[in-house]
Amino acid sequence: MPELPDEWELVLGRCVRTFYSNVFKQLERITMTLTKGSKVFLSEVGHNGFFYPTDKTATVLLETTCRTVSWVSVGDKKAWLVPQNAILYCGQPGLFVPVWLNKDKK
């Protein structure tokens, strides 16, 4: 494979950074606000290390913003990431926990 001139590497590097920057900006926009008192379904680790919804529920302790994940929906439930302190009293706000919500919840 022929080597690229230095100018091309600069241009390609800038294009790749711009592309990923735009992708992450779009991902940040896919959020939803959960109100205090909302019910969410907790996750369990199943086949091949994938997360699956359980019948166990948790109550959201404080109004929080959750982010979507690109996982396959299970039944009528869709996966979201919420800060750990939103569902656990001793949780940390920088850690995120996968929970499941009914698809019609918006």
Domain extents in the chain:
31-102
Task: Compute the distance between CA of residue 10 and CA of residue 48 in angstroms, rounded to an integer.
Answer: 40
| C-alpha to C-alpha distances, 56 to 7, 21, 53, 74, nearest whole angstrom | 56, 37, 8, 15
Predicted pLDDT at 44: 93
Predicted pLDDT at 71: 86
Residue 64, beta-bridge partner list: 34
Q: Which residue has the tokens 């995120």?
A: 96
Task: Compute the distance between CA of residue 99 and CA of residue 32 in angstroms, rounded to an integer.
Answer: 13
Q: Which residue has the tokens 């926009």?
A: 29
Along the 106 residues of the chain, how does pLDDT read in single tens digits?
A: 455 555 555 555 565 566 556 555 555 558 889 999 999 999 999 888 899 999 999 999 999 998 888 888 889 999 999 999 999 888 888 889 999 999 876 5
